Amino acid sequence: MTLTVTRRQKAFLDASATEVLFGGAAGGGKSRGQLTDAFLYALRYPSSKQLILRRTFPELEKSLIRESLALYPASVYTYHATGHTGHFPNGSIIDFGYCAAENDVFQYQSAEYDVVRFDELTHFTEFQYLYLISRVRGANGYPKQIKSSTNPGGVGHGWVKARFIDPAPPGVVFTPESGGSRVFLPAKLEDNQFLMRADPTYKTRLMALPERERKALLYGDWNLFEGQYFGEFSYETHTCDPCELPASWRRFRTIDYGLDRLACLWIAVDDDRNAYVYRELCESDLIVSRAAEKILAMTPENEHIYATLAPPDLWARSQESGRSKALLFEEHGVRFTKTANDRETGWLSVKELLRLRGDGQPRLHIFRNCTELIKCLPMLQTDPLRPTDTLTEPHNITHAPDALRGFAIYYSRPSPPPEAAASLWPNDLLEDYERASDAEREYLRRRYGAPAPLP
């Protein structure tokens, strides 16, 4: 049997780094490179075990499994559909796996592999990747590697870019602080002469894509990628160096809270309604009292906060205590103003803040010390089922953007006339008041004035 590979595929086969990423443009021969490398490894190392992964089984079946059956000769390879496993006469196996849900990784809890291979790595979350690479182990002395292939874009774009693309130039092996070694091997369509000859119109079809998708899939541009919700975000345009802000500007705090992550942003608004995110607190495993304590500790005593904005779910009463998180926060010194939780309106409000005006400047400016918001905002992906909303996965990148969304929807909502404010409670607030305990009703009356009579 003769295997013919491209120059870039040969570099992937030869790569000896602990973690290898082969990717970039569409049509670069990445999946074929994975299967060829897995085949040669299986023959070279008897009784070796490999795992090849796609995010869902339909993707796996229609690509890697089907292609392996066409590529591998039946004389040395048998595929067992029941277990999704390929077998070789020398005892080597290749498992074909998938992880549709985040926790599907635990089905591999007791497994051991010599090589784990991810096809379309950016479709996986960072948690899934880190858990599955821990399955690479064994005492047989064979080379242990994690070899991945991908295009830009997808739910894991941000962490893949941070792990492989940003630390070193393409083709340069580097050693992270955590140990081992990593390398990114770029692939472009022009590198795959087999596809170019077999389908000469493929490049023309890629050229017809919108600019952002074309740059990602044709040129492998990792700074613009398919599915990015806030494609208008620019580090150069929307961030600025920290500076002293006038004390007269109205200041807000806005939060997204859960035990998994507290995100609190401090935002100042100037006389022209430009918003400056000038401070952030993003930390996990904080109970309410500790979260309130941290928020207050990071707010100077002489800094007047006009309102601390929080989403409606913090007013929901606990089944155990009958009290809401909003009331608990107030008891610890942080009083909230309820903002809306309309995701579509909120995200469109953020887009309005990011939009460049006639002078070429946006209304939103983020201090560069607010690193989590700057990192997470451009990583949000468009929900393919609801194009006006973002995906909520991976969940760890949503907290700071959700806090910003709460501010944006409050900021864009016109204030009621002062004389009518006491009676213009929104319906969700009236419903909360009707279900509230006496203490919570007292809190709501202090914060918003007396409500209109309930029906």
Its pTM stands at 0.55
SS3 412: helix
Secondary structure E strands in 42-193: 49-54, 78-80, 85-87, 93-98, 115-119, 145-150, 182-187
pLDDT tens figures, 334-386: 999 999 989 999 999 999 999 998 888 999 999 999 989 988 898 888 888 88
Q: Summarize the confidence of residues 8-21 as an average pLDDT.
A: 92
Q: pLDDT category, 50, cuts 50, 70, 90?
A: very high
The pLDDT of residue 31 is above 80? yes
- 211's CB contacts (< 8 A; 6+ apart) are 224
What pLDDT score was predicted for residue 112?
Answer: 96
Count CA atoms closer than 13 A to 254's CA, side-chain side.
Answer: 27
pLDDT tens figures, 216-274: 555 556 765 657 888 888 878 899 999 999 999 999 999 999 999 999 999 999 999 99
pLDDT tens figures, 157-215: 878 888 998 888 888 999 998 899 999 998 765 554 544 455 556 556 655 655 555 55
The pLDDT of residue 88 is above 70? yes
What pLDDT score was predicted for residue 375?
Answer: 84
Q: pLDDT category, 424, cuts 50, 70, 90?
A: low
pLDDT tens figures, 171-185: 899 999 889 999 999
Contact (Cβ atoms closer than 8 angstroms) between residue 13 and residue 143:
no
Order the strands of the 250-258 sheet from edge to edge. 239-240, 364-367, 275-283, 261-269, 250-258, 307-310, 337-338
